[in-house]
Amino acid sequence: MSNIPDITVQNLGKTYEVPQREPGLGAAIKSLVSRTTRDVEAVKNISFDVAPGEIVGFLGPNGAGKTTTLKMLSGLLHPTAGEISVIGHTPYARHKDFLNRITLVMGQRNQLMWDIPVADSFERNRAIYRISHDEYKKTLDELSTLLDLSDLLSKPVRNLSLGERMKCEIAAALLHRPQVLFLDEPTIGLDVTMQRRIRAFLGEYNRRHSATVLLTSHYMADVEALCKRVIIIHHGELLFDGDLNALIERFSPHKTIVVDLETERADLSSYGEVITAEGNSVTLRVPKTKTADVTGKLLANLPVIDLTVEDPPIEEVIEQVFSN
């Protein structure tokens, strides 16, 4: 791995000009003469680097500016402020060398042709990216194995299920072996098994080809499985950039203690906030600083069979981040 980042983003901003109009006929007529617009800042002053081979989770609630940022990084949108460099290119210049080495997968968009077999759409991409037949065969074999595509290739896209189609979309987007992958909700709408499959595939692809991946997802399982590092944006601003563990450390002031008792549950509310109490098992939430203290007291005062201290689920942490 070189020291030069694959992606460099400096003070990136994107402001959309949105036409604005009051409801009603009068306002409609007025708008013919004077159009009023309002500036919406979708992305504000964001900076980060991504090293070659790194997988970074790009998180934020709906409307945070994730897709806008990914579109700027892949060259579809022109930034209104700041600088972007991806593998040495300015994305919006859409240089052929740049386009040959990146890919953008959007979970809700498709590039495969609807009416023709998947393999024929792939063949189209092969020609566009000038992939040699040998190279193409090798890549297709690899993708087919990893994603289990062999039965799907001869089917028209319209006959595929959502999950099957997504697998094919991802394969189509990777036929040219891009070095940088921008993935916008690649697992959206898929069932748990399919999500896991795609997740495992992305991890494997990253390991095999040292690809750089920037991924957005609303499924924390995706993020936990794939990303050591996360970048969180909210209302277009960067809130956090760092290790997933550090995020939990920093934003979760609580720990969760699960105790299994010998006897029927006692009232443990004096030890901490009781989240659940089922049979002999009680889950408590306690301030992080008091964890050792409470654990000691529980062990000393109660007939404890088992006790575990856990970080709260990542969803909860993220929620915490956004509510701040």
Nearest-approach distance from CB 121 to another protein, in angstroms: 7
**Residue 121 binds another protein, judged by CB under 8 A:** yes
**Residue 16 binds another protein, judged by CB under 8 A:** yes
Check if the beta carbon of residue 224 is closer than 8 Å to that of residue 193: no
d(CA 186, CA 36): 37
**How far lies 218's CA from each of 143, 184, 189, in Å?**
25, 10, 10
**Residue 69 binds another protein, judged by CB under 8 A:** no
Q: Report the residue from 44, 66, 71, 165 that binds another protein according to the rule CB under 8 A.
A: 71
Backbone angles phi, psi at 214, to 5 degrees: -120, 120
Which residues, other chains included, contact 170 with Cβ-Cβ below 8 Å and sequence gap of 6+?
A: 105, 147, 186, 198, 201
d(CA 25, CA 35): 14
- Pick between residue 233 and residue 259 the one whose CB is nearest to another protein: 233
**Residue 139 binds another protein, judged by CB under 8 A:** no
* Candidate segments 33-41, 52-60, 120-128, 230-238, binder of another protein by CB under 8 A: 120-128
Q: Report the residue from 5, 45, 53, 124 that binds another protein according to the rule CB under 8 A.
A: 124
Q: Report the residue from 92, 219, 240, 322 that binds another protein according to the rule CB under 8 A.
A: 92
d(CA 145, CA 319): 37
d(CA 97, CA 91): 11
Nearest-approach distance from CB 127 to another protein, in angstroms: 3
- Pick between residue 59 and residue 118 the one whose CB is nearest to another protein: 118
Nearest-approach distance from CB 240 to another protein, in angstroms: 26
Q: Report the residue from 7, 87, 104, 317 that binds another protein according to the rule CB under 8 A.
A: 104
Q: Report the residue from 12, 55, 77, 282 that binds another protein according to the rule CB under 8 A.
A: 77
DSSP-assigned states of every residue in 196-260: HHHHHHHHHHHHHH--EEEEE-S-HHHHHHH-SEEEEEETTEEEEEEEHHHHHHHH--EEEEEEE
Helix (H, G, I), strand (E, B) or coil at 16: strand
- Pick between residue 17 and residue 22 the one whose CB is nearest to another protein: 17
Which residues contact another protein by CB under 8 A? Answer: 16-17, 68, 71, 74-78, 92, 94, 96, 99-100, 102-104, 106, 109, 111, 113, 115-117, 120-121, 123-124, 126-130
